[in-house]
Amino acid sequence: MAFQPIVNVADGSVFAYEALVRGADGSGAGAVLSRVTPENRFAFDQLCRRTAVEHAARLGVESRVSINFLPNAVYQPSLCLGTTLAAARRHAFPIERIMFEVTEGERIEDRPHLVRILNEYKRQGFITAIDDFGAGHSGLNLLAEFQPDVIKLDMDLVRGLDHDRPRQAIVASVVRMARELDVELIAEGIETEGEFRRLQEMGVRLMQGYLLARPGFETLPAVALPAEARTVGAA
């Protein structure tokens, strides 16, 4: 696993560390995920959950750990959580600090099943998140049926935000919507100071991206806020 911080830019603290799958040689997620098949998907999903919790505990994560899961690998939500719960107990990692992310871009054959999964995860005390919000065609419909604790704004909407009026209008509407639904908003894929400043001005306080910290392979990387970072519009 590699870990990339999600940063509260109002004070520089780490809101969570996202656990990102890597090969044993440090190779990227694409190389690993290319080997996932329908036959091994469930075992892979369970192994990722267990490994993320184990590494987070070993590295001394004191905030939250964010784990991406494969909804198409989940058959009985309560039963599929057994591995995660056992790992959390074994390593004394509080379940209320575990966040499960599901990407909006993944092809979901059965949306009601996904809603049941997310509801069960929330009922069990986990944090729920919709990743890549704005990348797929069903994000608003999913949000109407289930309000997660967190939505992560897709990086394509962040790219060049500081000089792109249509993107600014879309992001501003998502910021307002998240506030009205009492959902935390994370902007991911921040790569430039211009994007960072514009998001601050729009009231986004949780950010993730190479500008702040690159993923650390089995380490917790240091956070570097842009020089003279201000909390303009942060709440």
Structure tokens, 168: 């600014």
Could you tell me the two tokens for 57?
Answer: 């505990």
| pLDDT reported for residue 190 | 96
pLDDT by residue (tens digit) across 134-160? Answer: 876 567 888 899 999 999 999 999 999
Residue 86 is predicted with a pLDDT of: 92
Note the pLDDT of residue 231.
43
Between 202 and 81, the higher pLDDT residue: 202
Distance CA 176, CA 172 (A): 6
Among residues of the chain, what percentage have pLDDT more than 70? 91
Domains and their CATH numbers in the chain? 2-217 (3.20.20.450)
pLDDT digits (tens, 9 = 90+) for 44-93: 888 999 999 999 999 999 999 999 987 767 767 777 788 899 999 999 99
More confident residue, 137 or 193: 193
In whole angstroms, give the CA distance from residue 62 to residue 65. 9
CB atoms within 10 A of CB 194: 15
Mean pLDDT to the nearest integer, 1-29:
92
Q: What is the pLDDT of residue 70?
A: 79
